Amino acid sequence: MIPRMSRFIPFTLAALAAVSLMTNAATNSPKQEKSMASHQKEQVVELLKSIETGDTKPVSYINPDKYIQHNLAVGDGLAGFGAVLQQLPKGSAKVNTVRVFQDGNYVFTHTDYNFFGPKIGFDIFRYEDGKIVEHWDNLQEKSAAANPSGHTMTDGTTAVQDITKTEENKALIRAFVDEILVNGQMEKLTKYFDGDHYIQHNPNIADGLSGLGSALQALAKQGITMKYDRIHKVLGEGNSVLVVSEGSFAGQHTSFYDLFRVENGKIAEHWDTIETIPPRSDWKNGNGKF
């Protein structure tokens, strides 16, 4: 079993090569380029779904000459996908993309996977000249049970609202992660929340600041620490903001992906995945996790 995999090009090596050649031969008109840009969310959803369906068409959305891979268990470029695919049992994959957002040249998704086992993942794709040229992700084993407040890792609202407040909300969430999670300024915590009204989707934590406090106390009693060291990306669309951070959990080098929903200038809901970063000797590419 492969614990951390890029999960989205279900085609054989031969099909991959053939589609790549066709892509190289095609030239898009300005009108086609504009149309492609306006449908990048749909393209990404199709690309992810192709893991399940085996459709080879979505590979044409990727630049065959430049594809930078940050999933450390996968080789760089399109060839890396073919190698992964050979190990995937036929018909075993399932893909349900629950949320999709766009921030400039970045499309990011929240997906319920069965790919070498049930997982929840965030994926980030960067577009350049109308083609996908880079990919990051963060995967966590899917919890079989709801959390203490009855929420799953993916349920909750999916609507994108307050588009005009995107930058304002990104600034709010960046400040929260920087002040509270990176620098531990806990005296500022309450200003980011509307009292105890806070929906939590982490599989081990209950709703509200009270639930968060109880979970942190329980970790401390077990001698488990969680530390955020730095923020790498803040992406958002409307009321939804994704933060990519690096730190440690239980003494292991860790990647944190946190998705927040903002309501009336306060944090109202949270989803996340936590993934251990493997040692450098185990990396299949040299691009790094971030």
199-200 and 266-276 strand pairing? parallel
Residue 230 inside a domain? The answer is: yes
How far is the CA of 166 from the CAs of 7, 171, 172, 203, in angstroms? 29, 9, 10, 27
User: Can you give the residue range of the structural domain that contains 57?
Assistant: 13-142
Q: Would residue 283 count as lying in a domain?
A: no
Count of structural domains, the chain: 2
User: Domain check: are 34 and 115 in the same one?
Assistant: yes
Chain CA centroid to CA 122, Å: 2
Query: How many angstroms separate the CA atoms of 102 and 105, rounded?
Result: 7
- Does the predicted model carry a pTM greater than 0.85? yes
Looking at the structure, do residues 130 and 175 belong to the same domain, yes or no? no
**Each residue's pLDDT tens digit, 40-77:** 999 999 999 998 998 989 999 999 999 999 999 999 99
SS3 annotation, 128-171: ECCEEEEEEEEEEECCCCCCCCCCCCCCCCCCCCCHHHHHHHHH
pLDDT at residue number 38: 59
> What rounded mean pLDDT belongs to the chain?
88
Q: Is residue 290 part of a domain?
A: no
Instruction: Answer yes or no: is 215 within a domain.
Output: yes
Q: Which amino acid is at 73?
A: A
**Boundary residue ending a domain (80, 108, 142):** 142
Instruction: Give domain status of residue 287, yes or no.
Output: no
pLDDT digits (tens, 9 = 90+) for 130-170: 999 999 999 999 999 999 999 999 999 999 999 999 999 99
| CATH number of the domain within which 183 lies | 3.10.450.50
Q: Which of 142, 172, 189 is the last residue of a domain?
A: 142
Asked, for residue 7, whether it belongs to a domain, the answer is no
Residue 268 lies inside a defined structural domain of this protein? yes
- Gap between the Cα atoms of 266 and 269, Å rounded: 9
Q: Which residue has the tokens 């036929």?
A: 90
The set of residues, in sequence order, having a beta carbon less than 8 Å from that of 87 and lying 6+ positions away, is 2, 116
